[in-house]
Amino acid sequence: MIDEIALQRDVNRAARAEALLRNELFQEAYATFERELVEAWKGTPSDQPRIRERIWDMVKANERHRIFLQGIVRDGKIAQADLDMLAEQRKRSA
């Protein structure tokens, strides 16, 4: 049986994640942080590979945060489709 409460929770989470991803300040913060990290990475001497690797790991972590939020949005869309399907099934059986 489909857990409608969990589906609705996923839809609500998706709405909040999507609002964050569309938020101008949030986008600016991500872009600024990534730009600063890439500049730091480029400016690190080649004889300091450990520092370069740590900075690059931070660039990738920043990207993973965004991907995480995008995944929540995707899951919410799937949950909404499931809820819509349930509503349609109920309508047909009524």
Q: Write out pLDDT tens, residues 15-52.
A: 999 999 999 999 999 999 999 999 999 999 999 999 99
Instruction: Please give the span between the terminal C-alpha atoms of the chain, in angstroms, as a whole number.
Output: 19
At 15, the amino acid letter reads: A
Residue among 65, 64, 82 at smallest CA distance from 11 = 82
Residues 65-74 have pLDDT tens digits of 999 999 999 9
Confidence label for 88 from pLDDT (cuts 50, 70 and 90)? very high
12-26 b/e with 16+ CB inside 10 Å = b?
ebbeebbebeeeeee
